[in-house]
Homo-oligomer: A and B are copies of this chain.
Amino acid sequence: MADVVIPDVKTLATQISEGSIRALGRGLTWVESGGPRAEALSARMFPNTGRAQVVGLTGAPGSGKSTLARALALVARARGRTVGIVAVDPSSPFSGGAILGDRIRMNDLALDPGVFIRSMATRGALGGLSRAAADAVDLMDAAGRNLVLVETVGVGQDEVDVMRLAHTVLVVSVPGLGDDVQALKAGVLEIADVHVVNKADREGADRTVAELRAMLTLLPTPEAAWVPPVLAASAARDEGIEAIADALDGHMAFLKTSGELERRRRRIVTARVLKIAQDLVAETVLEPFDATGTEGATLLDRVTRRELTPHACARALLARTANRIDLAGEGRDRH
């Protein structure tokens, strides 16, 4: 905080809105870290959001999500749109790979200021991943990016939560991945708006397309009349990418004309607010436990001694938490 080269929230917000790449990068670092500064920045940017198309891109490890994101970004650029990519996949090449992963870089994109890539590989014990991803999407949006791609690996509740931030969810499958890996995707298959069978040059691609189409007939029929298309592609060979870009545009057009867009925006807001509330509880409930002898620690001691149930302890802590949450925190600039 004492570092004088750090801009204040207001200055940074202005710079981001004016399209400064450097400011956007710094802002993303802030929101990734969280805390009051991040919240103040997000509050300033929030009124300028809502213009970008947010596309969630998910699939099993090894399905080529990052390659597809790159190919879609190039098509969007050719169509005159600017792009932001938020990769929250710990195994993503965008994030330099995870501890056991490889470290491919996307150098051709790095040279185009019209494509801004940010990886968020951190995965705090207290959650906060989808909160940070949502704030990152907002920043890209407020910075004027027309298309924001959010990439996550398609397993686990965290990832489904991140996908709930998107207007359009694209789920990537590949031929020949093991059934038990595919099964993990059950949760995200149900929220797919567009299906892509990537690596379609591989044997078994037709079968995977047919299986997905068959599976779609088993899912509960949504109220609105959008049937998720199943598209074959080879992102590494740049084949089938234009058709996917068309499907993404088509889905957004459907959302607008059907009135579904407003419902989806409401759902996104609800999911996002709930996550923030849960993060606040996580931060605040655990806060006093660092010091010894506090009331919270005493309550936990009683659970450890089995004098108090975990449920009763949680209720008691929540009551105390509500008083300590800073209820005046709305949109304030703390700098």
- Tell me if A108 counts as interface (CB < 8 A to partner B): no
Q: Inside 8 A of A129's CB, which chain B residues have their CB?
A: 157
Q: What CA separation (Å) do A123 and B158 show in the bound complex?
A: 12
- Tell me if A43 counts as interface (CB < 8 A to partner B): yes
- Tell me if A248 counts as interface (CB < 8 A to partner B): no
Can you tell how many copies of this chain the complex includes?
A: 2
Q: What CA separation (Å) do A331 and B312 show in the bound complex?
A: 7
When the two chains form their complex, are residues A91 and B312 in contact, meaning their CB atoms are under 8 A apart?
no
Taken residue by residue from 300 to 311, chain A's Cβ proximity to chain B (1 for < 8 Å, 0 otherwise) reads as: 100110101111
Q: What CA separation (Å) do A181 and B153 show in the bound complex?
A: 10
- Tell me if A3 counts as interface (CB < 8 A to partner B): no
A interface residue count range (under 10 / 10 to 19 / 20 to 34 / 35 or more): 35 or more
**Interface of A: prevailing SS:** helix
Pick the contact of A159 from B99, B156, B303 — CB < 8 Å?
A: B156
Q: Interface of A with B (CB < 8 Å)?
A: 39, 42-43, 46-47, 49-50, 61-62, 90-91, 97-102, 123, 127, 129, 134, 153, 155-159, 178-184, 186-187, 215, 262, 265-266, 269-270, 272-274, 276-278, 280-282, 285-286, 289, 300, 303-304, 306, 308-319, 321-323, 325-327, 329-331
Known: A273-B303, A281-B281, A315-B329. 18 other contacts (CB 8 A): A47-B306, A91-B183, A91-B184, A100-B182, A100-B183, A101-B180, A101-B183, A127-B157, A156-B158, A156-B159, A269-B304, A273-B285, A276-B310, A277-B317, A280-B314, A315-B325, A322-B322, A322-B323
